[in-house]
């Protein structure tokens, strides 16, 4: 009887621990995130995606950011695999942010609202209850920005393009809510293009979070916490916090393929350490977990935390590198020293 009671207590404690871990993963106090390509090596299998997601888990992030693609069955599978792997095991899933990218052809088309609504409804219905946040486009304010303008005042934007962009955004936002009323919506921008989102909020666009991209190709990189504009303090984070209750840095880092790995790692440490001093920042995402095979013909494309290397160039088969990059070590240390 005593053994039975002890066994029951152990079982209850284990179940309670699992439940607590599950709840914490659903509502992390600080989001440690990373952009994730489900099949970055060109090997389009569920096993590849399992490997990638496990690397994210080993790093220690609690959230991944993936793109929603529906070009063909193979592309749909990639997204499906990522969602499945991120939610396994059930008691310690990774939170998912899914990017619904915009397209200038659709924004300029005859029915941007309906196109946005259909996209949002399709994604949210497919992954109902599985995706925490859907990202509405990617830095969409740039679409409406006047050439050479900064983006921090309403007159920085072309009115017709602003209206078209807003119409599409409304469609996506409404479609997501129809497909999954519990899912939250994220908008993103960069540099000083915050006036677009201030106007969109005032015009009734529904979203719960704003993310700001701060990935740069070269050093030096301006401070986001102590940002200055025209040699005067400019509370950019305060602007973002007035737009949405949740504020993330959705793409952090500097290109290690340009500035060098050690300098990129040092920047990441300094930048994120500074972000953690500002209570208005609720999370940070490093731009990309891995290099991506399809970018190999681009200049300075190796800016992931994990590198890849060719196994069979003729057939474009790659593998993950065994060399641990300094940027990976830096982000790993930041996560584990604060958790």
Residues with Cβ within 8 Å of 75's Cβ and at least 6 positions away in sequence, in order, are 69
For 227-253, b where at least 16 C-beta lie within 10 A, e where not — what string?
eeeeeeebebbebbbbbbebbbbbbbb
- Model confidence at 127, pLDDT cuts 50, 70, 90, reads very high
CA atoms of 122 and 126, how far apart (whole Å): 6
Residue recorded with tokens 């002890």 = 6
Q: Give, for 171, the enclosing helix (H) or strand (E).
A: helix 159-179
Residue from 251, 250, 252, 257 nearest 301 by CA: 257
pLDDT at 21: 43
Q: Dump pLDDT digits (tens) for 23-61.
A: 444 446 899 999 999 999 989 999 999 999 999 999 999
Residue from 63, 39, 64 nearest 51 by CA: 39
Beta strand 246-254 with 209-216 is parallel
CA atoms of 203 and 23, how far apart (whole Å): 35
Coil, strand or helix at 45: coil
pLDDT at 70: 79
pLDDT at 17: 42
Q: Is the pLDDT of residue 200 over 90?
A: yes
First to last CA, the chain: 40
Q: Is the pLDDT of residue 64 over 60?
A: yes
CA atoms of 99 and 123, how far apart (whole Å): 10
Longest Cα pair distance anywhere in the chain, in angstroms?
78
Least confident of 22-26, 30-34, 122-126, 309-313: 22-26
Beta strand 133-136 with 95-100 is parallel
pLDDT at 339: 61
Q: Dump pLDDT digits (tens) for 139-189.
A: 999 999 999 999 999 999 999 999 999 999 999 999 999 999 999 999 999
Concatenating the DSSP letter of every residue in 69-135 gives: --SSHHHHHHHHHHHHHHT-STTSPPEEEEEE---HHHHTSS-HHHHHHHHHHHHHHHTTTT-SEEE
* Mean pLDDT across the chain: 91
Helix, strand, coil share of the chain (percent; to 5): 45, 20, 35
Residue from 158, 129, 154 nearest 143 by CA: 158
Q: Average of pLDDT values for 209-224? A: 95
pLDDT at 178: 99
CATH number belonging to domain 29-338: 3.20.20.80
Q: Tell me the HSE value of 335 on the side-chain side, using a 13 A CA sphere.
A: 23
pLDDT at 1: 57
Q: Is the pLDDT of residue 63 over 90?
A: yes
Q: Is the pLDDT of residue 244 over 70?
A: yes
Bigger pLDDT: 10 or 100?
100
Coil, strand or helix at 216: strand
Q: What is the pTM of this model?
A: 0.90
pLDDT at 189: 98
Contact 26, 277 (CB under 8 A): no
């Amino acid at each position: 009887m005593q053994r039975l009671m002890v066994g029951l207590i152990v079982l209850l404690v284990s179940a309670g621990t699992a439940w607590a871990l599950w709840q914490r993963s659903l509502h992390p106090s600080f989001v440690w995130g990373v952009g994730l390509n489900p099949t970055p090596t060109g090997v389009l299998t569920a096993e590849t995606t399992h490997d990638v997601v496990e690397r994210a888990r080993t790093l220690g992030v609690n959230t991944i950011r993936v793109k929603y693609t529906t070009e063909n069955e193979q592309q749909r599978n990639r997204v499906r695999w990522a969602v499945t792997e991120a939610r396994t095991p059930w008691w310690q899933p990774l939170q998912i942010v899914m990017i619904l990218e915009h397209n200038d052809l659709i924004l300029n088309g005859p029915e941007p609202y309906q196109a946005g609504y259909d996209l949002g409804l399709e994604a949210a219905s497919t992954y109902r209850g599985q995706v925490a946040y859907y990202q509405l486009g990617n830095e969409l304010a740039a679409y409406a920005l006047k050439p050479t303008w900064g983006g921090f005042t309403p007159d920085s934007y072309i009115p017709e393009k602003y209206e078209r962009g807003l119409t599409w955004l409304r469609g996506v936002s409404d479609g997501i809510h129809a497909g999954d009323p519990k899912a939250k919506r994220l908008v993103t921008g960069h540099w000083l293009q915050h006036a677009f989102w201030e106007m969109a909020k005032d015009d009734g666009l529904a979203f719960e979070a704003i993310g700001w991209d701060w990935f740069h190709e070269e050093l030096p990189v301006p401070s986001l916490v102590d940002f200055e504009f025209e040699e005067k303090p400019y509370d950019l984070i305060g602007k973002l916090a007035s737009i949405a209750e949740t504020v993330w840095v959705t793409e952090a880092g500097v290109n290690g393929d340009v500035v060098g790995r050690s300098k990129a790692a040092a920047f990441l440490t300094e930048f994120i350490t500074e972000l953690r001093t500002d209570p208005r920042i609720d999370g940070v995402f490093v731009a990309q977990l891995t290099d991506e095979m399809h970018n190999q013909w681009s200049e300075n494309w190796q800016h992931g935390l994990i590198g890849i290397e060719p196994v069979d160039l003729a057939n474009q088969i790659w593998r993950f590198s065994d060399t641990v990059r300094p940027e990976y070590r830096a982000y790993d240390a930041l996560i584990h020293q604060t958790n």
